[in-house]
Chains A and B, each alone.
Chain A
């Protein structure tokens, strides 16, 4: 299958390993990945910070860039959620019915990584090997906006060598929340402290999730504490094999 890849601005700029892993994984499964270079950012930061007018060109850019493709994958539950639940809404709220319709059509072809694998490609065992103790944090937007359910866990359970341990209070927000992490830094950090306590209590050496944004926040906290736990994007685990 020919799959268009939306890397997300954050993975493209700061976490290229997560983006490269997505490409490696899909190619290993026998699919063709294309990266339309006109892509930049989904605009969620602008929408959620109260700058819908500024987000509008980014919303249109996403729709225009990916309209030619039948299947689009995003290694982020949060960006997928914004594309599906905010793009058309913001465009129509700003009196742009044409772009809103196009956004809706492209959004319907946009899948978060675990959704693409399980719902579209119908594969649960991606042939991965990852011999580490891992705990999975279900990010809020993947859970309550994109509604990926237990798909990431179903994929992780099939990984060979993995020691998958359950995260206590897993569904509680880590405290990232985009610009919330800066505008309400103290509250965000208090939420993070509890999330880190839960992660450390599992004895895992890797915390994984489907969003680089939440992982940047959790990883930044764990690094500051020298907690000895790494954060790794779901795609990187699924892309790992005995040979790589």
Chain B
């Protein structure tokens, strides 16, 4: 393999799920019209917000924990190459095999090849954002291998031939009656008398998954953390399905973004407090699974770690954008975002929706490929306050907007506005002329596009008879 020491490249096109088919405003328009979706999202995000807010309020040192989380991540990113090499050494010493994947295509090829060599035509999967990002399921299916999602919500999404719409709760856009319909339609061997009672739905999934767990020899997972100085990988989850995948099969393949590495075991103390409280609103997540390479006679006897770049080095190269890599995928920013709450995750086009998606996806793909995402925010700042590792998402959105290629008409209008505003006399006459806008119809209802976006739902204020500037000048006259 050749080594090119130039600018790091962004995630390739044509593979994975970082780019949508539509711009954000177009996709959002459809979602906003779906009353069921709006109700599901409002209910779910309000519930999680309340739960999370209560358990965070219990910790007197929450702000200090956020500072610590932010500092540990900044340190890890500053010496990422060193930490990754240390991780590779430790994992190999413990009997694991480390693979380096520059992008989604390489990662998919590595995993597909590893599964093929086991002779298995089926893999069980732990919920993982990295494998969703690279489109691993599609790659496996193309190679004749069946991936089975074992996280309940991911299973709902997979059986519904759907896409995840939330980082933590991928089926947040579905309610229980929709889930019942999906199970009846697509779950092998489901009881036709299935009701939409949540315990009944969970039991149906458990029955189906249990058989799969016991008969599948290969598992694919992501990772929440990797510890460089011990070579330990970690997955936190709520259901125990992850634990099954990570312990029962002969072969475990973990695909992990390179930014997940932490320097030391002690660093977990901070993140295992931050993550559950910020994400599910739990004091502690029910299942925390840690493994270091291979333990003879216990758990998977073959362990492979695939370290995924897929644009991350490019993100790291931008000082004003790199802290997007600090994200621990808790989804607190989604749950507090007034835009996400109304548009849902699919509108963002990428597997990373919400505020963090609006800064991460355009950086992974290059801003031109996700040009509408940095604008998918009112810059209200709720995400920054909620982020357990203090990623300043609003400032990063503003930074990315400055890199977006702008349309010619907008560029001309903005340049003209700036020109006028830098010349007080011209500005004052423009203010007076603005009153002429009244001829465009009462309260601006005849404004042309794109300004008609305003008047579609809002009146313009009545233009005052006199600007403040003119009032002041008149008052100052003796």
Contacts and interface: CB of A to CB of B under 8 A. Distances in A.
Nearest to A224: B459
A143 B378 CA distance: 14
A236 interface: no
B472 to A, nearest CB: 5
B442 to A, nearest CB: 11
A186 B384 contact: no
Determine which residue in A19, A143, A190, A192 has the highest number of CB atoms from chain B within 10 A of its CB, and name it: A190
Interface string B205-223: 0000000000000000000
Contacts of B384: 144
Given A49-B414, A185-B453, A57 B380 contact: no
What does DSSP make chain B's interface, helix, strand, loop or mixed? helix
Contacts of A143: 381
A173 B406 contact: no
Nearest to A36: B424
A41 to B, nearest CB: 5
B453 A57 contact: no
Given A9-B421, A16-B471, A192-B458, A140 B463 contact: no
Contacts of B424: 37-40
Nearest to A93: B320
A173 B453 contact: no
Nearest to B414: A51
Contacts of B472: 23, 35, 37
A48 B467 contact: no
Chain A: number of interface residues, binned into ranges: 35 or more
A136 to B, nearest CB: 17
B99 interface: no
A223 B378 contact: no
B467 A12 contact: yes
A181 interface: yes
A110 interface: no
Nearest to B399: A93
B35 to A, nearest CB: 11
Interface string A1-34: 0000001010111111101100100000000000
A186 B458 contact: no
A184 B347 CA distance: 12
B4 interface: no
A11 to B, nearest CB: 6
A191 interface: yes
Interface in A173-204: 173, 175-192
Nearest to B26: A186
A217 B458 contact: yes
A7 B450 CA distance: 27
Contact of A219 (B339, B374, B454, B461): B461
A116 interface: no
A181 B453 contact: yes
Contact of B418 (A19, A51, A188): A51
A220 B460 contact: yes
Given A182-B453, A192-B458, 16 more contacts: A12-B469, A16-B467, A46-B417, A46-B418, A47-B398, A86-B398, A140-B379, A140-B382, A145-B381, A181-B458, A187-B376, A192-B457, A219-B461, A220-B461, A221-B457, A223-B459
Interface of A: 7, 9, 11-17, 19-20, 23, 35, 37-41, 43, 45-52, 54-55, 57-58, 61, 85-86, 89, 93, 140-141, 143-145, 171-173, 175-192, 216-217, 219-221, 223-224
20 contacts: A11-B468, A12-B431, A15-B464, A35-B469, A40-B422, A51-B402, A51-B406, A54-B417, A54-B418, A55-B418, A86-B398, A140-B378, A180-B377, A182-B454, A187-B343, A189-B457, A219-B461, A220-B457, A220-B461, A224-B459
